[in-house]
Amino acid sequence: LFVRQNVAKMQPYVPGEQPIEGGFVKLNTNENPYPPSPEVVRALLAEAWGALNLYPDPMANPVRDRLAQRFHLDRGMFLVGNGGDDLLTIITRCLAGEGDTVAYPVPTYILYETLADLQGSRKLEVPYAADFALPPGLFGSPAKVTFLANPNSPSGTSVPQSAVQELAASLKGVLVVDEAYVDFADESCIFLVGKVPNLCVLRSFSKSFSLAGLRIGYVAAGENLITEFVKAKDSYNVNRLSIAAAAAALDDYDYMLANVAKIRRTRGSLTEALTELGFSVLPSQANFIWAKAPEPGAAEIYQTLKSRRILVRFWDRGELRDYLRISIGTRGQIDALLAAVRDIVGVKDAG
Ligand SMILES: Cc1ncc(COP(=O)(O)O)c(C=O)c1O
């Protein structure tokens, strides 16, 4: 083999299924079931008729300027990327080398493990207890970078801002708070950026802004860190269409907030309905729920749902095996899911 040993040994990251045929109720990759703002579509069309022959703004400044205004921070405290994943890659490449430690509580977003492996870094994986509070083993670690998905995936749970602040203060390295799902939560840490020197906050347009297909995210941090991250990015890491879409999406913030409100309401009713059916559902602050399945078990429920063209997420891995992660769809999608689940777990449909 020509590749480095750590690459040869690592497991590839496997994203959730993206079926090519239509007709699926797709509740497996935490996409937003609602389309993006009509203003975003208008901006995309205008940009498409515009200057696609020219390279985009290398720093995506129209997006940075709007973020700076919204969060009362300097433009230099933001870096925009080709999805949150692009920024996670840039951050890991800048902060963790061979033999350095990368820490994160588990279970969490599997990409953190992939990125650590790519760097040949050591992984400090600290298990969450059943309550999904921050595990004490994460505090004071020698990690060069610590990842905390908040809200976390797959659990959907979140930890309070005060706990994040304590964790950051205990670390010598950088704490990356991954807020891909934060718009569905009650609390964010973005207002700590610039006040806590070793804090980076990552966000995505894929979930709350319904733009998973365009790939846009950003990281907010002290300008000294952003200046370093810029060195590791592709020259033009965000394309013209994505920049136009993200700027228009930020200009129509209320549209996003209205969809988030609908999703939060549906999350509440799905949690109640599944609990009645014998699932044990963790309290979710995200656009999905994670639930321990009753008989006939998560694997069988997942397979039967799939045969009925309803996709949810199931990991055949350790303790995750007992759980299903279900993204919050439209009311209609969730009604279809619940009807199928009632049938599979043997509860008569009251309707
Ligand atoms: C915890 C977490 N972080 C980051 C991402 C990356 O999002 P994107 O690259 O679509 O912006 C995801 C996507 O599923 C996620 O679950």
Q: What is the pLDDT of residues 62-114, one digit of tens each?
A: 999 999 999 999 999 999 999 999 999 999 999 999 999 999 999 999 999 99
Per-residue model confidence as pLDDT tens digits over 161-218: 999 999 999 999 999 999 999 999 999 999 999 999 999 999 999 999 999 999 999 9
Q: Look at residue 348 in the predicted model and tell me its pLDDT.
A: 60
Using DSSP's 3-state secondary structure scheme, residue 48 falls into: helix
Q: Look at residue 12 in the predicted model and tell me its pLDDT.
A: 86
Say if residues 29 and 19 touch (Cβ distance below 8 Å).
no
Query: Percentage of the chain surpassing pLDDT 70?
Result: 99
Atom of ligand 1 nearest to the CA of 88: 4
Mutate which of 79, 178, 209 for ligand 1? The one with the most ligand atoms within 8 Å of its CB, which is 178
CA dihedral 174, 179, 185, 188 (to 10 degrees): 50
* Ligand 1 interacting residues, C-beta cut-off 6 A: 30, 83-85, 109, 149, 153, 178, 180, 204, 206, 212, 217
Per-residue model confidence as pLDDT tens digits over 221-241: 999 999 999 999 999 999 999
Strands of 143-297 (E only): list them.
145-149, 174-178, 199-204, 217-221, 280-281, 288-292
DSSP calls for 108-143: --THHHHHHHHHT-EEEEEE--TT-PPPGGGTT---
The stretches of 56-129 forming alpha helices (DSSP H) are 61-71, 83-95, 111-119
Q: Return mean pLDDT, the chain.
A: 96
Q: pLDDT band at residue 311, thresholds of 50, 70 and 90?
A: very high
DSSP calls for 278-321: T-EEPPP-SSEEEEE--TT-HHHHHHHHHHTTEE-B---SGGGG
Cis peptide before 151 (omega within 30 of 0): yes
Q: Look at residue 113 in the predicted model and tell me its pLDDT.
A: 96
What is the distance in A from the centroid of ligand 1 to the CA of 207?
A: 8
Using DSSP's 3-state secondary structure scheme, residue 40 falls into: helix
- Which residue's alpha carbon is nearest to atom 2 within ligand 1? 180
Say if residues 170 and 193 touch (Cβ distance below 8 Å).
no
Q: What are the angstrom distances between the C-alpha of 225 and each of 95, 153, 158?
A: 10, 26, 25
| Distance (Å, whole) CA 351 – CA 91 | 50
What is the distance in A from the centroid of ligand 1 to the CA of 84?
A: 6
What is the distance in A from the centroid of ligand 1 to the CA of 206?
A: 7
Mutate which of 85, 158, 328 for ligand 1? The one with the most ligand atoms within 8 Å of its CB, which is 85
Query: Percentage of the chain surpassing pLDDT 90?
Result: 92
What is the distance in A from the centroid of ligand 1 to the CA of 144?
A: 21
What is the distance in A from the centroid of ligand 1 to the CA of 109?
A: 8
Angle at 48 between CA 46 and CA 52, to 5 degrees: 125
Q: Among positive and negative, which fits the CA dihedral 304, 306, 309, 313?
A: positive
- Which residue's alpha carbon is nearest to atom 12 within ligand 1? 180
| Distance (Å, whole) CA 24 – CA 76 | 42
Does position 28 have pLDDT exceeding 70, yes or no? Answer: yes
Say if residues 92 and 102 touch (Cβ distance below 8 Å).
yes
Per-residue model confidence as pLDDT tens digits over 246-273: 999 999 999 999 999 999 999 999 999 9
Q: What are the angstrom distances between the C-alpha of 50 and each of 53, 66, 257, 321?
A: 9, 21, 29, 49
Atom of ligand 1 nearest to the CA of 108: 1
Q: Look at residue 128 in the predicted model and tell me its pLDDT.
A: 97
Using DSSP's 3-state secondary structure scheme, residue 168 falls into: helix
Tokens of 113: 């493990």
Q: pLDDT band at residue 350, thresholds of 50, 70 and 90?
A: low
Atom of ligand 1 nearest to the CA of 153: 1
Does position 11 have pLDDT exceeding 70, yes or no? Answer: yes
Q: Write b or e for each residue in 230-243: b if 16 or more Cβ atoms lie within 10 A of its Cβ, otherwise e.
A: eeebeeebbbbbbb
Please state the rounded mean pLDDT for residues 142-147.
97
| Distance (Å, whole) CA 276 – CA 233 | 48
Mutate which of 206, 287, 327, 328 for ligand 1? The one with the most ligand atoms within 8 Å of its CB, which is 206
DSSP state of 36: P
- Which residue's alpha carbon is nearest to atom 13 within ligand 1? 180
Say if residues 82 and 58 touch (Cβ distance below 8 Å).
no
Q: Look at residue 349 in the predicted model and tell me its pLDDT.
A: 55
Q: pLDDT band at residue 17, thresholds of 50, 70 and 90?
A: confident
Q: Look up residue 40 and give its amino acid.
A: V
Q: Look at residue 308 in the predicted model and tell me its pLDDT.
A: 95
What is the distance in A from the centroid of ligand 1 to the CA of 111?
A: 9
What is the distance in A from the centroid of ligand 1 to the CA of 345?
A: 31
Query: Could you tell me the pTM of the whole model?
Result: 0.96
Does position 51 have pLDDT exceeding 70, yes or no? Answer: yes
Using DSSP's 3-state secondary structure scheme, residue 253 falls into: helix
Atom of ligand 1 nearest to the CA of 212: 10
Strand partners, 327: 288
- Which residue's alpha carbon is nearest to atom 3 within ligand 1? 180
Q: Look at residue 14 in the predicted model and tell me its pLDDT.
A: 81
Please state the rounded mean pLDDT for residues 306-326.
95
**What distance, in Å, lies between the first and last C-alpha atoms of the chain?**
59
What is the distance in A from the centroid of ligand 1 to the CA of 197?
A: 24
How do 217-221 and 78-81 pair as beta strands?
antiparallel
